[in-house]
Structure 1
Amino acid sequence: MPKHSLLPTAGRKLLLVVLGLAALITTMLFAFALPSLNSGPHHVPVGITGSEQSAQALRNNAPADAWDFHTYETPAAVRSAVKDLDVAGGLAITDHGVDVYTATAGAPSATSALTALGENLAEQQGTQASVQDLVPFTEDDPRGGGLTAALMPMIFGGIFPALILSSFFPGHRGLRTRLLGALLFSVVAGTAVAAVLQFATHSVDGDYWATALGVILGMAAMSTTILGLQAAFGMAGFALGGALMMLLGNPLSGLATGPHWLPDGWAAVGQLLPPGASGTLLRANAFFDSAGAALPALVLTAWVAIGTSLALLADRRGRRAILPRPDAVEHRSTGAAPHLVKDGAHHW
């Protein structure tokens, strides 16, 4: 190739890299800023009980896009719904006052908004509001700092295995080893993260093994997804997986606020991504006796299946690439030098 063509080619590559990085930073800004700017109660499910007149007055006065009211027969039914994660909180409206049922561990940001809603309702009725936190954070971590901080180690626990294992076990021949290593890492790191949350920081107090299994599944979903994308599409796949977890999954997880504090569309996407599903599963196992754990566990299992399938398809493609071609077999039978087919290791 003539020398004068090298500079334009290098210039085009540099321009593509610069534009790609600029697009990445812009996407990061949108992903982190927009949900925060539009945060607030968005169709938060709230259980209510009381007279039909008072319940209807509450529906008429409360912003329709902020609360989603569900009627129950008794205060006990509302409390049960809160503890089962069917609703984020509840209001029991009586002639003597308003009982506000919250679950800070399930919806930290919605708790303060619901408390304010109950107090305003009680003021309108000329009564008092009584707040009962049915599912609080632990005494040692009353603000849930440990729970919120757990998300980043879980995300990096999905990114690091794909990155590091690829260095030690490169190419197609190391693909299955990388997949096995990612799963083993998820088990070891997941049990360790759960142990720190339960026994070191005392941020959670549920069943340890249920919490650990949830963290393991979350890490496995992230690591196998990134590994599968990397195996199928190379570094572009790794970048896509990392962006999916970090740039979208992290800000849309709702772990710090509860998913109902994000705009509806953002919240729905966040709960379908591994970080959001991992956070919801961790919260359900750690504070609600695994109530509401089925859906996030199903989402994470689907991501594990997707990542594993991509890796296995890449493995099958790689095995075909290193098999001798028919003409090579023919050369062997006639004594001619075989045509060697290179391992496509550099693709993975």
Structure 2
Amino acid sequence: MTHQPLPWRAETRHAIGLVAAVTAGLTLVLALFVGVALNSGPNGVRLAVAGPPAATQQIAAELATTAGPDAFEVAAVADAAQAQSALRGREADGAIVLGPDGPTVLLASAGSPAIAQLLTTAAGHLSADGATAAPPVVDVVPLSPDDSHGAGLPAGSLPMVLAGLALGAAAALSLRHRWVVVGAVAGGAVAIGLAFAGVLAWLGVTDGAYLAVSSAIALTVAASALVVAGSTRLLGPAGLAVGALLLMIVGNPLSGIASSPRLLPGPWGEFGQWLPTGAGGTLLRTVAYFPDAAIGFPVWVLLAWAALGLAGVLLGRRAPHAAAPAPTPAARGAVEPVS
């Protein structure tokens, strides 16, 4: 005679495994968050220098000595005009122009207020020989006057991520047909993009470029929502956890939108740009403040994630709890018995 395990024993084992898995996962998340915070600093900050080759090499050597060999990437440019062009095209994060009266520091605070503050502080150590005053600092690409501290886009990034997560989950769990899911995600992303861009413009975070900003938000939300919807249709409710892990728990701290990807440690800043949250944040900041900069990389990253999510939607099964369409009156009449 075989004895079946008591239901409470099986459930207890399941509970122990669940607690162990959640504890291990959250411990890894804690290590990621704290590790990134403790080791943040300049990591490949691109600095353009216009001046004599000897002076450029001297600046590069001094930066390597004071900040570390990997903190800055120094590139020589011909003159101040080329340095400003590099800033407007997001090919450099800052610049130093060496002239007869001493150095001038060029910033692009719209690209990263944190890097702008870093370079402003460092400017005090670049005074010409015998000079007591810090060199002049020129902000080539400033932030909006209504958002002088640059808090708007980082604050708006979380609702943008939540929008993709909520839209994808709602579409996957409440809609039955795959193409209806795709249509709902596409339509919802466009509506969210238009609404969010309007709020950012109304609050003064962005100045103009409404269609470009709304398009960037819509593409980011669509890619994120398709990933969530695809993983949910493939994995069921566990797909929601996958989406939250990718977009928020890992993607948000590694996006660098609150500071800069080049202020994150090691390879994490570069890795974050391959995720939907990081690519979307970079795309949004670029179209909002840098109309001359290239946007090919973040666009292709988002399109790749959108294609991956679309494949999951098309190949996955319909949600088990999706509401079935109500029968039409004609259909009800067809099955009613004739009295």
Query: When the two structures are superposed, what TM-score results if normalisation uses the length of structure 2?
Result: 0.88
CA distance in 2, matches of 1:126, 1:95: 13
Pick the aligned partner of 2:137 from 117, 131, 135. 131
Pick the aligned partner of 2:182 from 179, 183, 187. 179
Aligned counterparts, 1:21-32, within 5 A = 21-32=22-33
Whether contact under 8 Å (2:261, 2:269) holds in the other structure is: yes
CA distance in 2, matches of 1:256, 1:141: 14
The residue number in structure 2 matching 1:104 is 109
Shift of 1:346: 6.4
Identity of aligned residues (%): 32
The residue number in structure 2 matching 1:205 is 207
The residue number in structure 1 matching 2:303 is 301
Matched AA of 2:268: W
Whether contact under 8 Å (1:234, 1:347) holds in the other structure is: no
Matched AA of 1:156: L
Query: Aligned to 1:250, what secondary structure does the other structure show?
Result: helix
CA distance in 1, matches of 2:23, 2:129: 52
Aligned counterparts, 1:237-248, within 5 A = 237-248=239-250
The residue number in structure 2 matching 1:223 is 225
Pick the aligned partner of 2:100 from 89, 95, 105. 95
Query: Aligned to 1:120, what secondary structure does the other structure show?
Result: coil
Pick the aligned partner of 2:235 from 208, 233, 243. 233
The residue number in structure 1 matching 2:258 is 256
Whether contact under 8 Å (1:253, 1:271) holds in the other structure is: yes
Whether contact under 8 Å (2:102, 2:128) holds in the other structure is: no
Matched AA of 1:183: A
Shift of 1:347: 11
25-34 vs 101-110, which deviates more?
Answer: 25-34
Shift of 1:260: 0.8
CA offsets, 1:100-150, max 9 Å, x none? 000011021111222233321225563741100011111111112211111
The residue number in structure 1 matching 2:75 is 70
In the alignment, structure 1 segments of 5+ residues that lack a partner are 319-343
Query: Aligned to 2:109, what secondary structure does the other structure show?
Result: coil
Shift of 1:237: 1.9
Paired residues, number: 317
Distance 1:166 1:53, change over 3 A: closer
Matched AA of 1:45: R
Whether contact under 8 Å (1:206, 1:289) holds in the other structure is: no
The residue number in structure 1 matching 2:49 is 48
CA distance in 2, matches of 1:177, 1:299: 24
37-46 vs 289-298, which deviates more?
Answer: 289-298
Whether contact under 8 Å (1:82, 1:102) holds in the other structure is: yes
Shift of 1:2: 5.2
123-132 vs 6-15, which deviates more?
Answer: 123-132
The residue number in structure 1 matching 2:329 is none
CA distance in 1, matches of 2:56, 2:225: 47
CA distance in 1, matches of 2:193, 2:301: 18
Matched AA of 2:194: T
Query: Aligned to 1:263, what secondary structure does the other structure show?
Result: coil
* Higher helix content, 1 or 2: 1
CA distance in 1, matches of 2:168, 2:43: 36
Whether contact under 8 Å (2:96, 2:106) holds in the other structure is: yes
Whether contact under 8 Å (1:214, 1:282) holds in the other structure is: yes
CA distance in 2, matches of 1:216, 1:56: 44
Matched AA of 2:12: G
CA distance in 1, matches of 2:314, 2:283: 27
CA distance in 2, matches of 1:144, 1:85: 17
Shift of 1:3: 5.8
Query: Aligned to 1:165, what secondary structure does the other structure show?
Result: helix
CA offsets, 1:48-83, max 9 Å, x none? 011122111111111221110010011110011001
